Chain A
Amino acid sequence: MRASSASRAMSAGLGRRVLRKPIAVISGFVLIVIVGGSFAAPWIAPYDPLEQNLRIAKEGPSLAHLLGTDSLGRDILSRLMFGGQESLSGVVVAVLSMLILAIPLGIVAGYLGGVFDRVILRVVDVLLSIPGTIITLAVLAIFDNNMVVAMVSVGVLASGAFIRVFRSATLSVRQELYIGAARVSGLSQARIMVDHVLPQIRGVLLVQVTLFAAATLGIQTGLAFLAFGPPPPAPTWGGMVAEAASLIQTDPWMLVPTGGVIALTTLALCLLGDALRDANQERFTLAGLVGEKVVKTTAPPPATPSPRLATAADPDDEAGVPGAPDALLTVRGLSVGFGAAGRETTAIQRVDFDVSPGEIVGLVGESGSGKTVTALAVLGLLGANGRITAGSVRLGSDELVGMSSAKLREVRGARIAMISQEPMGALDPSFRVGSQIVEAIRAHERVGRAEARTRSRHLLEAVRLDPAIASRYPHEISGGMAQRVAIAMALAGRPDLLIADEPTTALDVTVQADILELLRTLQAETGMAVILVSHDWGVVADLCSRAIVMYAGEVVERAAVADVFETARHPYTAALLRSNPHGAEAGTLLPTIGGSVPAPHQWPHGCHFADRCPLVTAECREAPVEMVHLDGDRASRCIHIDELAEAKV
């Protein structure tokens, strides 16, 4: 009982989303009209489909005959309505026979695996290599043009492909941890398949049903077109196309309504399938954006956000501050938005920092802080969806914001390079490791293949790898090796600045230590500057000399790493560092911040940390807080720095 009410709630979710799509509504309406018109034909059709009147034969559309008449003067509309019954019920028969076979077999193969899977896959292989058309024709030959049997065989023969589809959908659901949790609870396999797997693949199922129905309609009408099916004068959609074909010289009009109704039905089915697929994908992702402000009963009510003000790039006292004369990279007032122009969601705003030649700077923050977006914006690699909405990024004397893509290409690799979080994903799986390094080398230097290969060997040696690895494919090497290869590619253009986006997060600790060591050595050897994006304070403490702390899209603190750990000058940094279990007494409760990082559309007008800050006052919420410069070349975005220093134990 509970199960059914819960799954009803969810189908309503899918249904509502589908209904919100105009295309789906129109397609559904068209289908209802066509199906309804066909099956209600005996009552609502304007004429008897068999009634001949040779005086009005082959006429175009008129008020009396909306779609015209055929060669015997029969009303085309009425004939289409009656003919639809045959075609549409044929489709239903085929779809049902497909589903009866494919759903259980697909789910069992995917979920139980093992012997079941192997046997079912063999059966599928056989089904897929049997030519369906021939069997269907043979069935028609044997069963004396019995369309129902023919459509059953169409469904059975097609089930092979759908068993595969449902199997792979099930396979991906089986990986989900809630299946594991249900198994630990002791739920039986059958229960799990019905309660958890089936609802999950329902979206896929609906999409496949609509597409298969569209394909089947083509086959059904095609067979009727070839005169397999009810004999004349009974009306069929395919038969009417065949009749139109024979009249092509004298009355081409008849091709339009006959082909039209088939095309319209197919089109509606396809569009409905597409809409269903989109709705199914949105279903679980969009919901998260709506109800973020939930649940924590202790959290104070969020301050009324004023998005227009908050997202605008406020004039900042620092925007005018020129970069240090010897700075390699100067970022000023950088803001980035995602989404359609004019309505974009701000991801970072008013970001300022400098990087000097040869220093390693840590860009630290939790998820949602905007640290990765900042790094990508510097490289101009935000993707199609994101744009720099304000600010400047100067590399040496060149402004990168607004630079042509051809010029940016020359900067990338040669002056700024990047390594990313997932070492495996960073290499193209289809090409050998060596050829990818050679490609990176030849992107900037006109060198011959042989010379490029020599340099690639040197690069591999530089990252402490056996040069023989060049002939391997990415899937043949470990994650740590892949990250070294990625570093070699980044070094290929001899960059002045390396942006390392969480370079060790996906690696084991011992491998992480080696990679950090390698980065340190390479930095010392080449003298390049490094921006290390990380959430891990340990990694920052290990490698960086300066830290830039970000929270909710803004820089909140900048200081030498030693100073940050000694005395954080922003309440957020201080609280975050205290919540680390390292150094805490084992088994005691850790100090926590409370609340959660606000999403961009919930950013307060004033201090972004105000809702979670122990030192918050009314003043904090009034206006955007500016960076306050402190001695020792550090800065903090807080107006209560003095209180913080006192509160510090």
Chain B
Amino acid sequence: MSVQPILEVTDLAVDHGSGRRRKRAVDHVSFTIAAGTTLGLVGESGSGKTTTGMAILGMLPIAGGSVLFDGRDITGMRRSERRALGSERQVIFQDPYSSLDPSKTIGYTLAEPCRIVPRERRLSTAEIADRSAMLLRRVGLSDDAARRYPAQFSGGQRQRIAIARALMLSPRLIVCDEPVSALDLSVQAEVLNLLLELQRDLGLSLLFISHDLSVVRHVSHTIAVLQGGQIVEQGPAQQVYEHPQNDYTRTLLAAAPVPDPREQRLRREERQRSRTMERTQ
């Protein structure tokens, strides 16, 4: 692990809406992602986890705080500089059905990120085609997939394509916004494996946003728990998962049912006890 973190977020604040309806969606959010590691961002709907991800990607204006990408502050960056960053950070979204333009071939979609690279460093059409084919094979698809349209692929296959697109410019950080939430259990395992392998082989850093604690624990090195736009707990994945310090983290962990009837009965009883205690207090 290098000393310099790939991403350093300090006191991030993001607003939703404008004018009188402006509302702070994320406040005082701070975390760092060391190069080559994964930070899991967990929370329920409305907790601000997606908002945080979008702000880091530059898709939402930042109202306060700083976001250092590889030591450079991206909040005050000019558009041209920020565009250059496009090659270093990429995104994978939740819904594999809407994340690929249905009217474009897979080849076009994969080539698109290459078009923003400055002319002198831009790859030739043939090089782009080679790289697309290589990445398609890497994510487990055949390279003739480049000539097909998204509608011809299943959800899991589309998510693989989205991953290939994210890898086209060899980024250093990928924001994964609920990348497996829309997938079936068996497909989810395949996509998680792919992400783990890619991280191992390419040294990628991941910001992994999810509501599913067991998935987050499986892929993350550190976990940050968001509630109401603020981080209530963060630390090494195992510690947060097994010895949560914060009440909300505990509630969240206790609420998620586990696929083991005996363990689940114990958790349920535990949860009921803590609830009755809450009530009596």
Is chain B in direct contact with chain A in the complex (CB below 8 A)? yes
Q: Is the CB of B140 within 8 A of A581?
A: no
Of B25-33, B68-76, B142-150, the one touching chain A: B142-150
Tell me if B152 and A294 are in contact (CB < 8 A).
yes
* Chain B residues with a Cβ closer than 8 Å to the other chain, count: 87
A184 touches B57 (CB 8 A): yes
Q: Are A186 and B99 in contact (CB under 8 A)?
A: no
Residues of A within 8 A of B108 (CB): 2-3, 6
Query: CB within 8 A of B258: which of A183, A541, A589?
Result: A541
Are the CB atoms of A199 and B260 closer together than 8 Å?
no
- Inside 8 A of A524's CB, which chain B residues have their CB? none
A478 to chain B, nearest CB (A): 10
Q: Is the CB of A513 within 8 A of B257?
A: yes
Task: Kindly list chain B residues whose C-beta atoms are within 8 Å of the C-beta of A283.
Answer: 102
Q: Quick one: CB contact mask for A184-223 with B, threshold 8 Å, 1 for yes? A: 1111100000011001100000000000000000000000
Give the segment of A172-180, A225-233, A483-491, A635-643 that binds chain B: A172-180
Q: Mark A581-623, 1 if CB is under 8 A from B, else 0.
A: 1111011111111001100000000000000000000000000
The count of chain A contact residues (Cβ–Cβ below 8 Å) is: 77
B11 CB–A CB distance under 8 Å: no
Within the complex, the shortest CB–CB distance from B240 to chain A, in Å, comes to: 12
B24 within 8 A of partner (CB): no
Q: Is A565 an interface residue (CB 8 A)?
A: yes
B105-A292 in contact (CB<8A): no
B44 x A582 contact (CB < 8 A): no
What chain B residues lie within 8 Å of A188 (beta carbons)?
83
Contact B98 A178 (CB under 8 A): yes
Residues of B close to A536: CB separation below 8 A: 257
Scoring B141, B154, B190 by chain A CB atoms within 10 A of each residue's CB, the highest score goes to B154
Query: What residue of chain B has the Cβ atom nearest to residue A7's Cβ?
Result: B103
Which residues of B from 234 to 281 have beta carbons under 8 Å from A? 237-238, 251-252, 254-262, 264, 268, 271-272
Which one of A291, A575, A586, A588 contacts B186 once the chains associate, using CB atoms below 8 Å? A575
Q: Complex: how many Å from CA A610 to CA B252?
A: 39
- Determine if B149 and A287 form an interchain contact, defined as CB atoms under 8 angstroms apart: yes
- Rounded to whole angstroms, the CA-CA distance of A195 and B196 in the bound complex is 33
Complex Cα spacing A575 to B237, Å: 26
Once A200-B103, A295-B145, A295-B157 are accepted as A-B contacts, the answer to whether A288 and B152 lie under 8 Å apart by CB is yes
Q: Which residues from B are CB-within-8-Å of A296? A: 140-142
Q: Using known A-B contacts A366-B184, A590-B192, A592-B190, determine if residue A181 contacts B93 with beta carbons closer than 8 Å.
A: yes
Tell me whether A43 is interfacial, beta carbon within 8 Å: no
CB contact under 8 A between A186 and B86, given known A2-B111, A181-B93: yes
Q: Are A516 and B109 in contact (CB under 8 A)?
A: no
CA distance A538 to B253 in the complex (A): 13
Interface centre among A186, A188, A366, A509 (most CB of B within 10 A): A186
Q: Flag if B189 contacts A10 (CB, 8 Å).
A: no
Q: A7-B103, A186-B84 are in contact. Are A538 and B109 (CB under 8 A)?
A: no
CB distance from A153 to the nearest CB of B (A): 34
A285 contacts the other chain (Cβ, under 8 Å)? Answer: yes
Q: Does any Cβ of B come within 8 Å of A561's Cβ?
A: yes
Other-chain contact of B257, A9, A196, A288, A516 (Cβ < 8 Å): A516
Residues of B within 8 A of A587 (CB): 196, 218-219
* Complex alpha-carbon distance, A581 and B214, angstroms: 6
Q: A542 on the interface (CB 8 Å rule)?
A: yes
In angstroms, Cα B45 to Cα A199, docked, is 33
Residue of A nearest to B237 (CB): A586
- Asked if A576 CB lies within 8 Å of chain B CBs, one says yes
> What B residues does A3 contact at CB under 8 A?
108
- Closest partner residue, chain A, to B259 (CB atom): A537
Contact digits for B58-92, partner A, Cβ 8 Å, 1 yes 0 no: 11000000000000000000000011111101110
Assuming the contacts A366-B184, A579-B185, asked whether A565 and B260 have C-beta atoms less than 8 A apart, the reply is yes
Q: Is A592 within 8 A of B257, CB to CB? A: no
Contact (Cβ within 8 A) B255 A513:
yes
Q: Residue A454 at the B interface, CB < 8 A? A: no
The 8 Å CB contact of B259, one of A284, A582, A593, is: A582
Verify B59–A10 contact, CB threshold 8 A.
no
- The count of A-to-B residue pairs whose CB atoms sit within 8 angstroms is 216
Assess whether B91 is in contact with A184, with CB atoms less than 8 Å apart: yes
Within 8 Å CB of A541, what residues of B?
A: 257-261, 264
B202 at the interface (CB under 8 A from A): no
Minimum CB–CB distance from B192 to chain A (whole Å) comes to: 6
**Residues of A424-442 whose CB lies within 8 A of B:** none
A288–B217 alpha-carbon span in the complex (Å): 34
Contact B218 A586 (CB under 8 A): yes
Whether a CB of chain B sits under 8 angstroms from the CB of A58 is no
Whether the Cβ atoms of A285 and B151 lie closer than 8 Å is yes
On chain B, the residues within 8 Å of A596 by CB distance are 154, 156, 187
Residue on B nearest A366 in the bound complex, by CB? B184
**Closest-CB distance, B45 to chain A (whole angstroms):** 6
- Residue of B112, B193, B254, B262 with highest tally of chain A CB at under 10 A: B112
User: Does A177 lie within 8 Å of B98, measured CB to CB?
Assistant: yes
Distance of B264 from chain A, by nearest CB (Å): 5
B154 and A565 contact, CB distance less than 8 A:
no
Interface string of A286-321 (1 = CB under 8 A from B): 111011101111000000000000000000000000
Q: Does A577 contact B (CB under 8 A)?
A: yes
Distance from B60 Cβ to chain A, minimum over Cβ atoms (Å)? 11
* CB proximity to A under 8 Å, residues B181-234: 184-190, 192-193, 196-197, 211, 213-215, 217-219
How far in angstroms is the closest Cβ of chain B from A285? 7
- The A1-37 residues at the B interface (CB cut-off 8 A) are 2-3, 6-7, 9-10, 13
Cβ-based interface call for A510 (8 A) = yes
Give the shortest distance, in Å, between B194 (CB) and chain A (any CB). Answer: 10
**Assembled-state Cα–Cα distance A294/B141 (Å):** 9
Assess whether A164 is interfacial by the CB under 8 Å rule: no
The docked-state distance in angstroms from the alpha carbon of A180 to that of B93 is: 9
Known contacts A10-B103, A508-B45; decide if A187 and B186 are in contact (CB<8 Å).
no
Instruction: List A contacts of B86 (CB < 8 A).
Output: 184-186
B12 at the A interface (CB under 8 A): no
Q: A176-B99, A592-B190 are in contact. List 12 more A-B contacts (CB 8 A).
A: A178-B100, A181-B165, A184-B59, A186-B87, A196-B104, A296-B140, A517-B272, A538-B257, A542-B257, A576-B186, A589-B196, A590-B193
> Closest 10 A-B residue pairs measured CB to CB?
A186-B86, A538-B257, A537-B259, A579-B189, A287-B151, A186-B83, A581-B218, A513-B255, A177-B99, A508-B44
7 A-B pairs with CB atoms under 8 Å apart are A176-B98, A180-B91, A184-B57, A184-B91, A296-B142, A565-B261, A590-B189
Chain A interface (Cβ < 8 Å from any Cβ of B): 2-3, 6-7, 9-10, 13, 114, 175-178, 180-188, 195-196, 199-200, 283-288, 290-292, 294-297, 366-367, 508-510, 512-513, 516-517, 535-542, 561-562, 565, 575-577, 579-584, 586-593, 596-597
Q: Which residues in B have some Cβ–Cβ distance to A below 8 Å?
A: 18, 44-45, 54, 57-59, 82-87, 89-91, 93-95, 98-105, 107-109, 111-113, 115-116, 125, 140-142, 145, 148-154, 156-157, 162, 165, 169, 184-190, 192-193, 196-197, 211, 213-215, 217-219, 237-238, 251-252, 254-262, 264, 268, 271-272
